[in-house]
Chains A and B, each alone.
Chain A
Amino acid sequence: MNRKGDEGIFTRLIFRMLLAALLLIVLLSFANRQANLTQFHKEYYSADIALTLDSVLGVPGDAQFNYYVSSTRTPLFIDITKKGVTIATAPNGNDISALMYPRASDLAIMEDPSSHRPPWLSMDKTSQSLKVTKTQEKTCPSSEGFTLQGKKIGIFAPEDKEVETAMLQVLHAFMPQSETTIGNGDVNIGLKRGDNQVPRLILGTDTPVTKRMVCLLREEFIGLGDLLESDQTYAGEGVLLEMPKGVQVPDAFAQHLAAVLLALEDTK
Chain B
Amino acid sequence: MNKKGDSYLFQGILDLFFVGVVVAVAVAIITTIASTTIDSALPAGETAFNRMYYSSNGFSYTDSLGVSHPGTIDLARFDQKVLEEAYLQEIPMTGMKFTLNFDKRQEIVLVNEPVFKRLAPIGEAKLEGKGGAYFTKKILPVTVYDGSYHAGTLTAEVVASKR
* A residues with CB within 8 A of B: 4, 8, 11-12, 15-16, 19-20, 23, 26-27, 30-31, 34, 37, 39-40, 43-44, 47, 51, 54-55, 57-61, 82-83, 101-107, 126-128
Known: A12-B12, A44-B38, A54-B50. 13 other contacts (CB 8 A): A12-B11, A12-B15, A19-B15, A23-B22, A47-B38, A58-B50, A60-B55, A104-B48, A104-B91, A104-B94, A106-B87, A106-B88, A128-B66
Interface contacts (Cβ under 8 Å), in number, total 103
Task: Judge whether A30 and B27 touch: CB under 8 Å.
Answer: yes
Q: Output the least CB separation between A9 and chain B (Å).
A: 10
A260 to B85, CA, bound (A): 45
Task: Judge whether B12 and A127 touch: CB under 8 Å.
Answer: no
Task: Judge whether B27 and A26 touch: CB under 8 Å.
Answer: yes
Task: Judge whether B67 and A34 touch: CB under 8 Å.
Answer: no
Task: Judge whether B69 and A47 touch: CB under 8 Å.
Answer: no
Residue among B8, B12, B56, B58 with the most chain A CB within 10 A? B56
Task: Judge whether A58 and B36 touch: CB under 8 Å.
Answer: no
A43 to B91, CA, bound (A): 17
Task: Judge whether A27 and B50 touch: CB under 8 Å.
Answer: no
26 CB contacts below 8 A, A to B, read A8-B8, A12-B12, A23-B22, A26-B27, A27-B27, A27-B30, A30-B27, A40-B36, A43-B38, A44-B38, A47-B38, A51-B43, A54-B51, A55-B47, A58-B47, A58-B51, A58-B55, A60-B56, A60-B68, A60-B69, A61-B68, A83-B90, A102-B91, A102-B92, A102-B93, A128-B66
A133 to B58, CA, bound (A): 25
Give chain B interface residues in 27-52, CB to chain A under 8 Å: 27, 30, 34, 36-38, 40, 43-44, 47-48, 50-51
CB within 8 Å for A127 and B65 given contacts A39-B36, A107-B57:
yes
Q: Output the least CB separation between A97 and chain B (Å).
A: 12
B123 contacts chain A at the CB level, 8 A cutoff: no
Q: B18 — nearest CB in chain A belongs to which residue?
A: A19
B26 contacts chain A at the CB level, 8 A cutoff: yes
Q: Output the least CB separation between A208 and chain B (Å).
A: 22
Task: Judge whether B37 and A104 touch: CB under 8 Å.
Answer: no
A217 to B54, CA, bound (A): 26
Q: Which residues of B contact A43 (CB under 8 A)?
A: 36-38
Q: Output the least CB separation between A160 and chain B (Å).
A: 37
- State how many residues of chain B have any CB contact under 8 Å with chain A: 46
* B residues with CB within 8 A of A: 4, 8, 11-12, 15-16, 19, 22-23, 26-27, 30, 34, 36-38, 40, 43-44, 47-48, 50-51, 53-58, 60, 62, 65-70, 85-88, 90-94
Q: B62 — nearest CB in chain A belongs to which residue?
A: A127
Contact of A19 (CB < 8 Å), options: B19, B56, B58, B94: B19
Task: Judge whether B54 and A58 touch: CB under 8 Å.
Answer: yes
Q: Which residues of B contact A54 (CB under 8 A)?
A: 47-48, 50-51
Q: Which residues of B contact A106 (CB under 8 A)?
A: 57, 85-88
Task: Judge whether A51 and B47 touch: CB under 8 Å.
Answer: yes
A128 to B60, CA, bound (A): 15
Q: B26 — nearest CB in chain A belongs to which residue?
A: A27
CB within 8 Å for A102 and B90 given contacts A23-B19, A57-B55:
yes
A43 to B35, CA, bound (A): 11
Task: Judge whether B26 and A127 touch: CB under 8 Å.
Answer: no
Q: Which residues of B contact A47 (CB under 8 A)?
A: 38, 40, 43
Q: Output the least CB separation between A119 and chain B (Å).
A: 21
Q: A31 — nearest CB in chain B belongs to which residue?
A: B30
A82 to B97, CA, bound (A): 24
Q: Which residues of A contact B8 (CB under 8 A)?
A: 8, 11-12
Residue among A34, A54, A104, A105 with the most chain B CB within 10 A? A104
Q: Which residues of B contact A37 (CB under 8 A)?
A: 36
Q: A43 — nearest CB in chain B belongs to which residue?
A: B38
